[in-house]
Amino acid sequence: MGFTASWLALREPADLAARDDGLLAAAVRAAGPLPVIVDLGSGTGSTLRAFAPVLGGTAAWRLVDSDPALLAQAALSAGPEVALHRLDLRTLAALPLQGASLVTASALLDLCSRDWLTRLAARLTEQPVAFYAALNYDGVMTWTSPDDDDETITAAFNRHQRGDKGFGPALGPDCASSAADVFAKAGFTVTQADSVWVLGPDQAELQQQLCAGIANAAAEMGIAGAQQWAARRHALVGDGHCHIGHRDFLALPPGYQ
């Protein structure tokens, strides 16, 4: 699964439906009455669109991504209150945090290392500023129409998720628990909530692309029957549902009122 604009558009409705409403509302409160929000790994702006119905007013957004094509796509719908920043997220000192009241991320932390998270927590303590990260993959995948190879494929995919994605050894399915530990040790108050993808027959294309990506990752980990598993899964997209586990995460800095 590449981080193309088409893939991000395909998954956005599932992301929106999965987000925990209570934690999203708490993040909006943390952003304050005059929100200045910095979105890390912004892609085409899905986090901004998720916030729009619940913000109750305008906010100044700073969308940060290293991919110029995704930022160009974001620019097509960005209003005057949105600033685009093409930055390498590994360079945390360069993040545009001046005056920020909230930092956000969506489906990012599983790609990152514990060292990166630790440095991010330290950076957000300097200001200080709250951090809301949604849709953090937790390693759990189930189908209401089970296949004998589901467990093997899931385990292989989770091993693949822990490979280096550019930030050092990735946390993969451990990202939410690791983030909670890192930010708690930095003095933040941490709250988590489930944000499970529930994909039915009406999301057949998303299921098919998802299973193709999972199978490719499993094949890279040496699972010989991964593509056959994907073919069987493709044939079952009209039957039952697919559940992909995620966790949402909100960290409030020391002294937050």
CATH code for the domain in which residue 25 is found: 3.40.50.150
**Tens-place pLDDT, residues 21-64:** 999 999 999 999 999 999 999 999 999 999 999 997 789 999 99
Instruction: Tell me whether residue 20 is in a domain.
Output: yes
Instruction: Tell me whether residue 237 is in a domain.
Output: no
Rounded alpha-carbon distances, angstroms, from residue 12 to 72, 184, 193: 18, 29, 19
**Tens-place pLDDT, residues 166-204:** 999 999 999 999 999 999 999 999 999 999 999 999 999
The pTM (predicted TM-score) of the whole model is: 0.95
Ranges of H-type helices in 76-220: 114-126, 150-161, 175-185, 204-220
Instruction: Tell me whether residue 216 is in a domain.
Output: no
Number of structural domains (the chain) is: 1
Instruction: Tell me whether residue 134 is in a domain.
Output: yes
Q: Is 78 helix (H, G, I), strand (E, B) or coil?
A: coil
Instruction: Tell me whether residue 215 is in a domain.
Output: no
